[in-house]
Amino acid sequence: MNATTSDDFDVVIVGSGAAGLTLALRLPESCRVAVLSKGPLAEGSSLYAQGGISAVLDEQDSVHAHVADTLDAGAGLSDPDTARFVAARAADCIHWLIGNDVPFSRESSSEGAGDLHLHREGGHSHRRIVHAADATGRAVETTLEGMVRRRGNIHVFEHAMAVDLITTSRLGQSPRRCAGLYMLDTSTGDVRPLAARTVVLATGGASKVYLYTSNPDGATGDGIAMAWRAGCRVANLEFNQFHPTCLFHPEAKSFLLSEALRGEGARLLLPDGSRFMHRFDQRAELAPRDVVARAIDHEMKRLGVDCVYLDISHRDAAFIREHFPTIHERCLAFGFDMTRDPVPVVPAAHYTCGGVMVDHSGRTDLPGLYAIGEVSYTGLHGANRLASNSLLECLVYGTAAADDIAAALADAPPAPQLPAWDESRVSDSDEHVVVSHNWDELRRFMWDYVGIVRTDKRLQRARRRIDLLQGEIREYYGNFRVSADLLELRNLAMVAELIIGCAQNRRESRGLHYTLDYPETASESGPTVLTPSR
């Protein structure tokens, strides 16, 4: 339904991907819930997820094996308790989605859950990827969207962006907790306060901090930056996953070629047609994403080429069209027939493995504030995310947070009265070029200096540039009315600073963080935790 004129809610959820919508639907219908979406309700990273959701549904598989694969991909930094917590709840989440008519692919026309078609992806020891052809995120997200729109207790604010969190200490009250947020209506430019007994960040990751990314435009690290400014710790932001295989074409913006292609036998080739992955890992094309992305990056730099190639043309054409219809059609639109020829690919920033530190219920350091999905650091992904554990994490933690919030609401204080947004000392900007220039500069130096391969000197250069940009952004923010572009730039710059800080603190190469100055993996290691000064 449309937003009401009321400004206070039991729960305000910032973000409308799989995590946020799962939480909204799992809360009791007696709760007054608001969902903020930067664009249309279903738009976001979840919508574009191709591969699927990992879950143990085969008798030959086990939760123990799923946990072992997660820990192996995490390169020694995944938390075993978290991995077990998530893997053990995966099947229930899949059954909940099936019960709500998500159209997962099946081996036959039978309706039995045992007939689900299961992919195998890189890093997995078994076939355990539940999927809806090659557009799983779209199937899940559109189903959840329809359910949310039918719920009378859920109020949807589309084209709405959170500006910043409001804490009780900001209001001169104690004890310190989250009291709500300021919301920008991006269609009108108006800012209004939303009071809440509980706020949940489900804003996704921060891969737009890089020049090349598979993510939609909204992945600007908003929740990470807001939580940090509110006093919450963050962890492991040096571990940004680069998807190895994004389509290389000047007009193919952010289109990735699912890892499931390699799971079904696709081969990576150099321009001369030779394979190369076996020289980097005995699992070849089924190695974890960080290994594959780094191998592609190495070969591109070694040979001075713009791309490598992904080839599944040796498989039956009907099989390719049946299992990968979206990818096949999109490639055709750009002049590539994957049933006949190899397709050009390059790595691109894809997934933020670190984020706001939370417990198993999604609670942050700030009472009344939760974080779920890609915005959070749960300990699941460690130094690298196992394929198809991301949508799963959204579902598990969306459910866990809903249970915890529902149990705590009876004792939560009422939503307070919030002050109006003050624009008395700002004006409309006549220098929009400052925002666009700084946006471009930020994303380029992050790609060049804090990308797939790093060095101390590159990180120092990035640190000097981000310090200069932060000063310019603070001055601009203090003098002009806010806009979506300005808020996103402010948040991206904050997250870039945190990524650089985490990377400088990790003096080893592990998982997604590879530095030429410390190429070895340390014998003992833990998460990189940053704590804000209040």
Residue written as tokens 């991006």?
A: 186
**If you write DSSP's letter for every residue of 26-92 in order, what string do you get?**
HS-TTS-EEEEESSSTT-SHHHH--S-EE---STT--HHHHHHHHHHHTTT-S-HHHHHHHHHHHHH
The DSSP H or E segment spanning 352 is strand 343-352
Residue written as tokens 């003098």?
A: 479
For the question of residue 443 being annotated catalytic, the response is no
Give dist(CA 374, CA 357) in Å, integer.
11
- 390 in Cβ contact with 49 (< 8 Å): yes
- 265 in Cβ contact with 203 (< 8 Å): no
Kindly tell me the burial class for residue 475, based on how many C-beta atoms sit within 10 Å of its own C-beta (0-12, 13-18, 19 or more): exposed
SS3 labels along 469-509 = HHHHHHHHHHHECCCHHHHHHHHHHHHHHHHHHHHHHCCCC
Q: What are phi and psi of 431, to 5 degrees?
A: -130, 50
The alpha-helical segments, DSSP class H, found in 270-316 are 289-303
Kindly tell me the burial class for residue 27, based on how many C-beta atoms sit within 10 Å of its own C-beta (0-12, 13-18, 19 or more): buried
Distances in Å between the Cα of 380 and the Cα atoms of 74, 211, 493 are: 8, 27, 26
Q: Which of 128, 138, 267, 289 is the catalytic position?
A: 289
DSSP state at residue 187: T
Residue written as tokens 């489900």?
A: 202
Tokens of 386: 């196992």
- 500 in Cβ contact with 447 (< 8 Å): no
Give dist(CA 397, CA 14) in Å, integer.
15
The DSSP H or E segment spanning 338 is none
- 373 in Cβ contact with 279 (< 8 Å): no
User: Half-sphere exposure (CA, 13 Å, Cβ side) for 36?
Assistant: 31
- State the catalytic residues: 289
